[in-house]
Amino acid sequence: MTKLSLSETLKQMAGMHESRSETDRLRDVYADIEMALQSGVSRKAVLEVLHKDGFAMSLKMFDKALYRIRKAKRSNVTTKCHADEHRAGAIESETSTDQPPLEKPVTWPRKPMTPADFREIRNQPHDWVALSKPVIKK
């Protein structure tokens, strides 16, 4: 079996209706569904087209599946943005010599704050006058 035919066989297996949930199959065409919805096509009309392709979900299930897919996409984007910000901050702190290094490295995701953490922050000395002045970027 050649590599190309193996690849085609695996793609066909991935697209088989029997072995995949409707939400997984919906995820495959999510971009097209969003494009149709944003251009003004009703959810009912989109669902009718999906029914013709073998989907059996109700409108309520369709809405819930779209909600979960959208939420997962937002979560992935947010996590990726936080990781990029963290990397950029680490690079900036390595190259910047005018700022003292952080006492504790910041890691993502952060652990939930506890009352002891708030007490520690409150008991640290702060220069409130300097913090109240506007930041002037050069």
Question: Using alpha carbons only, how large is the chain's radius of gyration in Å?
Answer: 25
Instruction: Say if CB 31 and CB 74 are below 8 A apart.
Output: no
10 or 30: which carries more pLDDT confidence?
30
* pTM (2 d.p.): 0.48
pLDDT at position 128 is: 75
Kindly indicate the confidence band of residue 67, based on its pLDDT and cuts at 50, 70 and 90.
Answer: very high
- Establish how many alpha carbons lie within 13 A of residue 122's alpha carbon, considering only the half-sphere containing its beta carbon: 7
- pLDDT above 90: percentage of residues in the chain: 27
Give the whole-angstrom CA distance, residue 121 versus residue 115: 10
Mean pLDDT of 84-113: 61
Q: Which of 38-42, 45-49, 60-64, 96-100 has the lowest mean pLDDT?
A: 96-100
Residue 24 has pLDDT above 60, yes or no: yes
H/E stretch holding 18? none
Question: 40: phi > 0 → left, psi -120 to 50 → alpha, else beta; which?
Answer: left
pLDDT at position 117 is: 86
Residue 48 has pLDDT above 70, yes or no: yes
